[in-house]
Amino acid sequence: MTGQLHPSDPSSVAGYRLLGRIGAGGMGVVYLGRTEAGALAAVKVIQAEYADDDEFLARFRREVSAARRVESEWAVPVLGADTEAERPWMATAYVPGPSLAEAVTRCGPLPARSVRVLGTALARALEAVHAAGLVHRDVKPGNVLLGRDGPRLIDFGIARAADATTALTSAGMVVGTPGFLAPELAAGGGAEPGPAGDVFSLGCLLAYAATGRPPFGTGASDALLYRTVHDEPDLEGLDEELRPLVRECLAKDPELRPAPRELAGRLAGDPAADPLGWLPESVVLLIAERSARMLDLPDVEPTRAEPVAPTARPGRRRLLAVAAGGAAVLAAGGGAAVVWNSLRGAGGPSAAADRWIIGVHADLSGPGRVSGREQERGVRLAVEEYNARPDRLFELAVTTADDGGSPERAVGAASELADEPRLLAVIGPTGDPEAEAALPRYEEAMLPLLAVSPGHPSLAGVALPGGQSRVLLHLRPSDLALSVPIGVHLFEQAGVQRPGLIQDRSTDLESSAVALATSVMARDAGHVLHPRVVPPGVHEAEGFGPVVTEMLEAGIDSFVFAGLPEGAAAVARELAAAGFTGPRIAPQSVLDPLFLEQAGDAAEGWLVHASFVDAAGLPAAEGFSTAYREEHGSGPGYRAAEAYDAAGMVIQHLAAAAADGEMPSRAALAPLLRESTYAGITKEFAFDPDTGDFAGEGRFAHEVRDGRFTFLGPV
């Protein structure tokens, strides 16, 4: 994950354009950089105050030298460096994936096969490190990155030559990470680090990957060092075949540990056989989301016929699993519809009720006002329903904050809501940029934020003082997860062999995710994808005609458009004029009346995948639709029903708490919501309790028929 550049940061270093911060320490900053050719790099730049520190520069030169000496496909290579520059720097290849530590924390322990493949790759990396006459000295989960084409060992900051006679550390200093440090080094007796110490660290890492916990526990450094020297490792839960080999790696006597080459042979994993197939589905999706974000980085120079960047190949079964389900969604909301009909019009409010507030943060006056107003109406209907209950124990109110579709105004809107002491939860904002801007303020107030429409993966990477958000709940699949069914649908169509794809960079919301998912699915299905990337504004300039003509001449038999409704309409007209009748699919940004207006008859037959329903076409939402029509004189628009469900989920928890005699605080409500499931009228809601990510089924298909979008149901 990357954070924004600071005003004091340089814009470029030695030809690398800096795009964001990967991390920072007391002595340097690591930036995400890109060359003019588009290659990404992790650029480590030393702070100016250390550039004249001879001892520190000696360490940095040693780090650069060590990294350059290692030649392994499973270690991150050095792309360039200048240790004598005014601000010394080093660039290594960038791996757009999580560390092993993050993957295990977010997705849980790895299965035995995954551990074997991981261990094989890292053992081969250590073999190369030791062949170069080096010892890594800090093999740990945070120093292993999981990329699209396999794991990578990183960080040679404390590596040293195995035969070095001059130490650059103080006498008696323990160098390495407690809990992953070999006992001969943890004892602090001045033992020299050797290759066997790296093998011990790798054994600790494999135990952690397989069980989700370090083999010598957690806690204070002194306690970890003591247990490493004197106690046996905790290998409970480790696969029976792996346990003896890991135990050999963790032998107290360095002479009894296997060498990396022997270890790789006995693990017998092949990381190159299936670059992503060795990992569980949840980790594959995490890697894919990180890769998708890389497609959203600013262009160096946009081009009109740029091929889509190569992507990894998770197995078809795994991507199908992400898109599977949904058949039970229609049934899941039936109870909610009955509740609505039975409570609507029930007895009046109780005069003794306490008053609490649900906030709606939305774009009510800007470009997203249609969706924002629908979400406000959905929340208000849910609150009216509750207030009509004769047995209610408190009264609810709704207050709104309008950000006008502006990230700058979104911060003020969030503060306005957060400062209301009786407000317990917020539904919104409408757009991704506004949600990203507002989230830190809601985090500061520990105010639960239920995001109905935002779904871009970058929202999960917002830089927060405490790290991962504690208050955010995603009420829909991410753009990447939502894009997977597009490929599933396309490649299950009879006769589809050469799909075409246009990625319109006018939007950074779904286009990169759709491009990534379609590319992965095409490769896995054995099809030849014909992709084109166009810069913003093409439909306003020369149009899509030349690009569409070139794609048709290349023989495409199906088509995916990733972009805005105006661009989709322009492409639809070009395809219709050429007589193209193959499958045509687009993401939910195209589910807009503008597409129908501008495309005209050319829109017929287009299929659009979305995270929201048409409540008028959903039997479970019949009561909601009737009530909405009575209130507003017309049927509900998109996302009104989802916002109604969001409010209903909050109300369910508040009502249960009130029945037990105590309303939850804001801080207590967020984890309660994350740990819950809720059968709404649109779908069943479930979440990852640690991250707030949506874990339910929420993908729906709409098709243009007779000049209007027709709701087809769950995908």
Give the active site residues. 138
Question: What residue has token string 């920072």?
Answer: 24
Residue type, 374: E
Helix H or strand E encompassing 650: helix 640-659
Helix H or strand E encompassing 449: strand 449-451
Return the structure tokens found at 687: 């979440």
- Residues with Cβ within 8 Å of residue 214, at least 6 apart in sequence: 179, 180, 204, 207, 208, 224
Pairwise CA distance, residues 503 & 486, whole Å = 14
- Judge whether 154 and 90 are in contact, CB under 8 Å: no
Return the structure tokens found at 239: 């696969």
Q: Report CA torsion sign: 300, 301, 302, 304.
A: negative
417-to-136, 370, 395, 525, 714 alpha-carbon distances in Å = 51, 21, 18, 48, 34
- Sort residue 224 into left (φ over 0), alpha (ψ -120 to 50) or beta: alpha
- Give Cα 373 distance to the centre of its chain: 28
Q: Which residues of 428-456 are buried (b: 16+ CB within 10 A; e: fewer)?
A: bbbbbbbbbbbbbbbbebebbbbbbbbbb
Q: Which residues of 17-50 are buried (b: 16+ CB within 10 A; e: fewer)?
A: bbbbbbeeeeebbbbbbbbeeeebbbbbbbbeeb
- Judge whether 180 and 214 are in contact, CB under 8 Å: yes
- Sort residue 449 into left (φ over 0), alpha (ψ -120 to 50) or beta: beta
Phi and psi, residue 379, nearest 5°: -65, -45
Phi and psi, residue 85, nearest 5°: -70, 165
